[in-house]
Each structure stands twice: as structure tokens, then as C-alpha cells.
Amino acid sequence: MKLYFFDGGALTCDKSSITLNRGAGTLIDIPITFFLVQHPQGNLLYDTGLARECLEDPDKHWGIVAKSYQFKFSKEQYITERLATVGIKPDDIKYVVMSHLHMDHTGGLREFPKAKILVQRREMEWAYTADWYQKAAYVRADFDQKLKYEYIEGLEQNPYDVFGDGSVTVWRTPGHTPGHQSVLVKLPESGSFMLTQDAIYTSEILNKKVLPGVCWNNEEAVKSIKMIQHMRDNGVNIVCGHDIDEWKQWKKAPEYYA
């Protein structure tokens, strides 16, 4: 097995949109991240980064929400270009696990019509029905596509063991959104990695008592953070979704963890 970390560009935004009530007025860069697991039974992708349209005209593709960000995104950081650097074509992907359906994670989804797209049913419902404070973060053009969606049913299927051998499991981590999920990858040499995306935006959220700046339910967010802290305390490497300093420390594709 191999685990690849991909640099999908970055966005500049106000720090308070990442850490609740902290850092208003301070601009920070947040990395855009996605991951590939090469398993003997097939390739699995976790999230898909920014849409190709964001290279040219993010305002047109994202609408009003684009105004909150500056884009640091180039053609070679688009998902298909990044996968090509490790010899992978879209049709080589068997599964795409979606952390959630916010616009900085769904951009490349439509490149994978042959893959099974694993998303929490609750997340898909919320993507169409979100209230005003999150509505703009769901860009329908990205996910309202003819794709092979497979819905994971919340607590009933938690964790969801993708290959049936315990090596790649999908964990419900709601809070930021109702149907957020994280991926635990167990590697024979490098150990275990919990890929958390927006359940743990930054190490400040993991290690201090800080909530995510965008939060559907604080109570659920805290439960998810505590579960991930427990994994950390048991030696699992925790990979934050949008922490620029931590992100620099990981190996990036074409290097990998095995």
C-alpha cells in the first residue's frame, strides 16, 4: 500500500473563518489537500480539491463565497494533473471518499464518473438544504452530476471498512457539517494516518480548546475532535485539513508513505 499527499494549491482567508472567535482581521493561507491510497484491491481518492474553473474565474464558479478568498491555484495543482505525476488517470480510481461537499473539496469530482463516490447520506441532503450561513459553500455544479454515489448511513455504518481488511476505514466526524467523514489509513511501515480535512482544520483545533470557524453543530464538533484526540494519544498521525505549517512537514507526491 502507498499513501500520497497532494498539494492542491492554497486560499488566503481571514483566520476567524478557520478558528472561531480567533484571529479576526489576520489573513492566513490554507492549503488545499487531497490524498490517494493505492491498495492491492484498487485506488482510493480522498477529496478532489478546487475546480478547474477556479483557475480562470472563481467568482463565476463559486459565486458570492469567492469574495472571501484569494486564490493561489495553478493548472498543475488541479487534481487530474496532480494524479498524472504519479501515473494515475481518472479511470484508474475505484473509490472517491468525500469528506464533505464544500466547494474546496468537490472541484474535481466530475472527473471520476467510473468511481464509486462514498459520501454520507446526511451530507448529500444538507448540501441541497443548508441554511443561509453554509448555503454558499455548496457549489451544485461540482456535485450535482451523473456520478456513482454510494451513501454511507451515519452511525449504522461507522466506521465503514472500504476494502474489508481494516486498512482504510471511513469515520463519521460531524460538526463542521452534518455528514463530514475522515479516513484512517493503516500502513505496514509508516504507521497509521487519520486524514481529517475539515473536522480538524488546524493543529490549534486539535491541541487547544478551539472550535472550527464554520460549524454546523458545536456539540458534534467537540465529540469528533475528542475522538480524533484519542487516536492521536494512541500514536496515530493526525493530518489536519487546512494547516499550512503542518502541511509543509508531510511528504508530498511523488513521494509517499508505505
CB-based closest residue to Zn ion:
102
Beta pairing, strands 2-14 & 27-39: antiparallel
| Residue 198 interacts with Zn ion (CB under 5 A): yes or no | yes
Q: How far is the CB of 149 from Zn ion (least distance, A)?
A: 19
Beta carbons of 99 and 240 less than 8 angstroms apart = no
| Residue 47 interacts with Zn ion (CB under 5 A): yes or no | no
In the complex with Zn ion, the residue whose CB is nearer, 66 or 88, is 66
**How many other β-carbons are positioned within 10 Å of the β-carbon of residue 126?**
21
Please choose, out of 6-14, 97-105, 123-131, 249-257, the segment that lies near Zn ion by the rule CB under 5 A.
Answer: 97-105
The dihedrals phi and psi of 232, each to the nearest 5 degrees, come to -55, -45
Q: How far is the CB of 249 from Zn ion (least distance, A)?
A: 22
Beta carbons of 201 and 182 less than 8 angstroms apart = no
| Residue 243 interacts with Zn ion (CB under 5 A): yes or no | no
Report the C-alpha gap between 17 and 27 in whole angstroms: 10
In the complex with Zn ion, the residue whose CB is nearer, 90 or 213, is 213
In the complex with Zn ion, the residue whose CB is nearer, 90 or 241, is 241
Q: Is 31 helix (H, G, I), strand (E, B) or coil?
A: strand
Site for Zn ion in 100-119 (CB under 5 A): 102
In the complex with Zn ion, the residue whose CB is nearer, 79 or 88, is 79
Report the C-alpha gap between 189 and 173 in whole angstroms: 26
Q: Which residues here bind Zn ion, judged by CB under 5 A? A: 102, 198
